[in-house]
Amino acid sequence: SWGVTFVAPGGASLRVPFSRHTGEGEAPGAILPRVHFDDLLFQAVKHGGQVDVMEGRTAKAFDRTSGGWHITLSGPDGARTELDCRMILDASGANSTFSRHVARLPMEPRHHAAGVRAYFSGVKGLDPDGFIELHFLKELLPGYLWVFPLPDGHANVGLGLRSDMVKRRRLDLKAELLRLLREHATLRKRFVDAVPVGSVQGMGLPLGSRRRSI
């Protein structure tokens, strides 16, 4: 991607390039499915030579010790592996076993966003330079709807809004996304022939607005 286009509630847009030399050399940004990005990071760690990777195992228990942590792992055949470490860096997501059952981090609606996304083919009007689009629609403020262009007329399309506002407005985000693509004056023209690729998926996203002790 070579930039981002911001669209205001009234329809005015601002196109902001990431580079003064759009189209020259390698693009500053990349748009790809999240599962591919996760695997890219994992493979870099796996082959970087600085980390021992243990695949096919799941962390089942975390116990505090005087020197840090004792972790119990379970393999595909049920075999157990025991590890001891000074510190745990949990990179398995906001809803991981560790964050929910050990750190006991609560889901705080004012500091949490709810979002949905779907992939579509046949989307019209995608930026030829791969600019992503952030649409700040009146119906979604202070949240927004996004369109991330992919090759061959495909796009990652979704929306997000703070969780407490989703509850207050009694919004069904999956239904709201499809409604906006079907009825919004500008978007409906671009999605009139678009076909969903798979189903609409939901996700939660903790925000950085809550200060926490480390």
Condensed to tens digits (0 to 9), the pLDDT of residues 64-86 reads 999 999 999 998 888 899 999 99
- The secondary structure element, H or E, covering residue 63 is strand 58-65
Average pLDDT, integer, range 97-121: 89
Integer distance in angstroms from the first to the last C-alpha of the chain?
35
Average pLDDT, integer, range 4-27: 91
The predicted structure's pLDDT at residue 118: 96
Backbone angles phi and psi of 44, in degrees to 5:
-65, -40
> What are the tens digits of pLDDT across the range 163-183?
999 999 999 999 999 999 999
- 145 half-sphere exposure, CB direction, 13 A CA radius: 22
Domain positions in the chain: 3-30+109-206, 57-105
Q: What is the CATH number of domain 3-30+109-206?
A: 3.30.9.100
The predicted structure's pLDDT at residue 189: 95
Average pLDDT of the chain, as a whole number: 91
Average pLDDT, integer, range 128-141: 95
The answer to whether residue 108 scores a pLDDT higher than 90 is no
* Chain Cα centroid distance, residue 184: 24
Residues 202, 208, 209, 214, Cα dihedral to 10°: 130
Average pLDDT, integer, range 1-15: 95
The predicted structure's pLDDT at residue 34: 84
Please tell me whether residue 38 adopts helix, strand or coil conformation.
helix
The predicted structure's pLDDT at residue 140: 94
